[in-house]
Amino acid sequence: MLRNKTLKKNKGFTLVEMLVATGVFMSVMVVSVSALITVIDVNKRNQSIKTVVDNVSFALDEMSRNMRTGSGYRCYQPETNPCQTVVFQPYGYAGNAEKPDNYLYYKYEENPVSGEGNIEQCDTKINSSCPASGWQSITAPTDVVNIKSMNFWVMGTGEVSKQSRVLIALSGAAITKTGTSSFELQTTVSQRSR
């Protein structure tokens, strides 16, 4: 009978066992929480980069759509190929006697002080003083997107047997709260036959 009473008293955890179990639990929780925080930070960074690249892709898509339906591609400085400014007549204005000087310009504009750049557009339907003024940025502000270089290669213009096309290549960086990530984009635009 005495034995049964002593056995009942000894059922339970000692203070040392409780401290060890609590220590192991806390260690596992610290590792798990830090891994979770790292995953959340990486996800936020990737979302920011995706937003920036989507912005630049949207600008390239807009340029491509306008160029695809336009005609008369050429570098603004005709002796250079690749060039940083391309000009063409948008759809509906090629050969239009009423509006012969309606052109759409796209260019890479670099800030000489900071080295940051963006894509700009000028439409002579809106402002006839292009290219001297009237340029509008079609990318996000340079504190979010830093386009480092952009070139246009104009091919097949003036040759009846070849389809006109423009190769656009750009490289830049997405600037986020957690750092900077580089990217490169390239697309080729060919003129649609009507």
| Residue ranges with strand state E in 53-164 | 71-75, 85-89, 104-110, 117-123, 136-137, 145-155
Tokens of 68: 């695809």
Task: List 172's β-bridge partners, or say none.
Answer: 147, 183
- Give the pLDDT confidence of 133-152 residue by residue, as tens digits: 678 888 876 667 788 888 99
pLDDT computed for residue 30 by the predictor: 95
Q: Quick one: pLDDT band at residue 159, thresholds 50, 70, 90?
A: low
Residue 21 pLDDT class (50, 70, 90 cuts): very high
Q: pLDDT per residue over 61-116, tens digit each?
A: 888 888 888 888 888 876 777 888 888 888 766 555 555 568 888 988 887 777 67
Comparing 118 with 127, the larger pLDDT belongs to 118
Return the H-helix or E-strand segment holding 51: helix 15-69
Question: How many C-alpha atoms does 27 have within 13 Å on its Cβ side?
Answer: 6
Of residues 87 and 158, which shows the higher confidence score? 87
> In angstroms, rounded to a whole number, what is the distance separating the alpha carbons of residues 39 and 184?
25
Place 22 in a pLDDT band, splitting at 50, 70 and 90.
Answer: very high
pTM over 0.95: no
Amino acid at site 139: T
Residues 6+ apart with CB under 8 A from 136: 120, 121, 122
Q: For residue range 34-71, what is the model confidence (pLDDT) as tens digits?
A: 999 999 988 887 887 788 778 888 888 888 888 888 88
- C-alpha 168/C-alpha 177 separation (Å) is 29
